[in-house]
Amino acid sequence: MNEKQVMLGITGTNGAGKGTIVEFLVKVEGFKHFSASGLISEEIVKRGMSVDRDNMIVVANELRAQYGPGYIAEELLRRAGESQENRIIESIRTLGEVEKLRAKGGILLAVDADQKIRYERIIKRGSNKDRVSFEEFAEQEKREMESEDPNKQNLSACIKVADYVIQNNGTIEELNREIEKILIIIKNK
C-alpha cells in the first residue's frame, strides 16, 4: 500500500519554530520545502532593496495587492507542482493563502510560543532580518497579527483556522515529538 502524500502549510509567529519544524520535516521525514521568505527575498533582490523584515512585509503585501491575497501560497504551490513527495509550504500569512493551500488538499499547521521566548530565539539565530530591539520586534508582530486588508498579513486569523496548533515553549526534542504525533494522525486519516 502506498503511503499517503502530505502537503503541509505552516503559519505562526516570528521565532515560534517554523524553521525548526521545516528542518525536521526535510531532514527526518523527507519533505520538500517551499519558502515564502525565499520567494519574497528573490523579489526584494530584483528590486535592489535590502533583505530585512520590514522590506519582507512591504514587498509581500505589494505582491498580494497586485496579484491577490493568496498569491504567495499560490506561487509556492505552483512551484511544488503535483509531486508525489511530501511537501511543506512555509509560511502562510493570509486567509487567502490558507484558501489556496486547502484548495490543493493542504493541511495547515500553526506554531506559537511565548513572546519573550520567541524574541530570545530570534536574537540567537542572528539573521539580518532579526537584528531588532524587543520593542521593534513587538511592533513588527503587532503589524503582522491582524489586518482588515485581505492582502496584508493576518497571522492571528491564520492560527485560528489552522488544523493543528503547537505551543512551542519547550525544547526542540519536544517540538519534534509533537510534529511526529501530528504526522501519524494526518497519515492515518
* All structural domains of the chain with their residue ranges: 7-187
> What pLDDT, on a 0 to 100 scale, did the predictor assign at position 21?
97
Higher pLDDT, 161 or 132: 161
Q: Where are the alpha helices (DSSP H) in 68-171?
A: 71-80, 95-103, 115-125, 134-145, 155-160
> What pLDDT, on a 0 to 100 scale, did the predictor assign at position 127?
74
> What pLDDT, on a 0 to 100 scale, did the predictor assign at position 189?
82
Asked if pLDDT for residue 42 goes beyond 80, the answer is yes
Predicted confidence band of residue 128 (pLDDT cuts 50, 70, 90): low
- DSSP code for 4: P
Predicted confidence band of residue 131 (pLDDT cuts 50, 70, 90): confident
Could you say which architecture CATH assigns to the domain 7-187?
A: 3-Layer(aba) Sandwich (3.40)
Q: Give the burial class of 126: count Cβ atoms within 10 A of its Cβ; 0-12 exposed, 13-18 middle, 19 or more buried.
A: exposed
pTM: 0.91
Q: Are strands 32-35 and 87-90 parallel, antiparallel or unpaired?
A: parallel
> What pLDDT, on a 0 to 100 scale, did the predictor assign at position 81?
84
> What pLDDT, on a 0 to 100 scale, did the predictor assign at position 4?
75
> What pLDDT, on a 0 to 100 scale, did the predictor assign at position 1?
35
Calculate mean pLDDT across residues 109-123. 95
Asked if pLDDT for residue 2 goes beyond 60, the answer is no
Higher pLDDT, 84 or 137: 137
Q: At what angle do helices 36-46 and 71-80 cross, to 10 degrees?
A: 110
What's the rounded Cα separation, in Å, for the pair 5 and 51?
Answer: 34
Higher pLDDT, 12 or 52: 12
Cβ atoms of 72 and 60 within 8 Å: the answer is: yes
Listed range (50-54, 124-128, 173-177) with the worst mean pLDDT: 124-128
The SS3 of residue 185 is: helix
Cβ atoms of 108 and 100 within 8 Å: the answer is: no
